[in-house]
Amino acid sequence: MEFNVRVRFAPSPTGPLHIGGVRTALFNYLFAKKYNGTFVLRIEDTDQTRYVANAEQYIIDALEWCNIPFDEGPGKNEKFGPYRQSERKDFYKKYADKLIEKGWAYYCFDTSEALDALRKNKEAEGKTFIYNWHNRENGSLVNSLVLTNDEVQNRINSGENYVIRFKTPQDELLRMEDEIRGNIKIDTNTLDDKILFKGDGMPTYHLANIVDDHLMEISHVIRGEEWLPSMPLHILLYRAFGWDAPRFAHLPLILKPVGKGKLSKRDGDKLGFPVFPLEYTNEVSGDISRGYKEDGYFPESFINMLAFLGWNPGTEQEIFSLKDLVENFDLKRVSKSGAKFSPEKARWFNQQYMQTKSDFELTDLYMPFLKQKGITKNKDFVLNVVSSIKERAVFVDDFWELSSFFFETPTSYDAKASKKNWKEGTPVLMTELITIITSIEDFSSSNTEKDIKAWITAKEIGFGKIMQPLRLSLVGKLAGPHLFDIIEMIGKEEVIKRLENAIEKL
């Protein structure tokens, strides 16, 4: 890039950060890092009625967990601060006034009741009410385009409530360029005159967004598809101010697993998967929403999964480190169409990353769980356990189900497996096997396997008649890693104890 890349992620602190928002942050981060640019966090809290006190910290914590921290933002490198729009509100009125002076905006004194009446009248006629060139000067509306300057000033001085609207140009075919969607054209006659400044003294998103992007020298606006209808207004606002507009890129929606409609929290609740990066507690209701972190996902797998929701590298490769994503990311490879979310694919990514983790790292994650259960096996033993089971695990939380038999003697046995594999003559064979095991001095996996298989061969019986009941006795079910590795790890005394228990209970 021939200029300094500066991108921003600008969420509203109205609740937990949805994974769609995280993906927007991720794509901004990847683009910034690819071009040695700056990733800015700006908190867009102009809507104070929906403000949630702990939402901002949640957003920051989520970005940190995802390993995509911002370069500039609240409390960090505040070169263009403040970074909360509520702390910048004195800026915006000045710019709204500039638009009025230049003829690009006007005061409106219409009451909510009057506007509601106009809407209902239009609906009765089968039409839609739009506040724009059709009616802004025909006398049915009360604004500074039909009032004298003195009348406007008197209304303002008397404390009458007003808003400031943008004066959308008439009869123009507006041509725009989107980095993902290409050329876009729109007839300005179809646009309404959006409110830029509200009666409560706060700007709307549209004005604050444009002013802040300009003052913070944002070069690229990478945001969700839901903001695409706002692009014409934003382009016109840049023109009205006489500023160069940034380049725009509108990302596709993340769709429900069924492929229709935008992914929502309700979908996650219904189908049993999280839609937020971190667990979130609603301060008002006390309701707790699940998070990917608490569900056991690695941040690397979560980010890798998100990157593929709307972007592809153009190859068959699916596993990308964050560094790889930065190197390969290209807005030209972002799709225009929505990306279907797959809970199964999310789990698959986590399982792939499970295999890349060292046994030492996974052991450190598993040890606290064992400690909570009062299990005090040494770390080397747990390391061997983890090494033997991690290929079958998706989450560290799966470890106990896959390995409990290494730490505890089974107290029950799988009914179906018992019925099929524990026959009338099995107790006699298992009693004889105890004698064989007792005589083995070298209790390594390879040696016990050699001696026991030699005994089975000498007896001229099928291996299944011994191996299946033996596994059932040691594990409680027909599952687990290599049987003779289990035997070596739990030791001769425990093997004999478990065989005796099975003979007694089955």
Catalytic positions are 265
Looking up tokens 């981060």, which residue turns up? 29
Looking up tokens 């890693």, which residue turns up? 481
Q: Which helix (H) or strand (E) holds 89?
A: helix 89-101
Q: How far apart are CA 142 and CA 497, in angstroms?
A: 91
- Number of Cα atoms under 13 Å in the Cβ half of residue 131: 25
Q: How far apart are CA 164 and CA 506, in angstroms?
A: 82
Q: How far apart are CA 9 and CA 227, in angstroms?
A: 13
How buried is residue 136: exposed, middle or buried, by Cβ count under 10 Å (0-12/13-18/19+)?
buried
Q: Are 162 and 110 in contact (CB under 8 A)?
A: no
Q: Are 197 and 19 in contact (CB under 8 A)?
A: no
User: 185 is written with which tokens?
Assistant: 């054209």
* Strand residue runs (E) in 215-261: 220-224, 247-251, 254-255
Residue environment code for 67-88, b if the CB has 16+ CB neighbours within 10 A, otherwise e: ebebbbbbeeeeebbebbbbeb
Q: How far apart are CA 329 and CA 1, in angstroms?
A: 14
Which pairing describes strands 163-166 and 38-41: parallel, antiparallel, or unpaired?
Answer: unpaired
Neighbours of 482 (CB within 10 A): 11
Q: Which helix (H) or strand (E) holds 484?
A: helix 483-490
User: 173 is written with which tokens?
Assistant: 């075919």
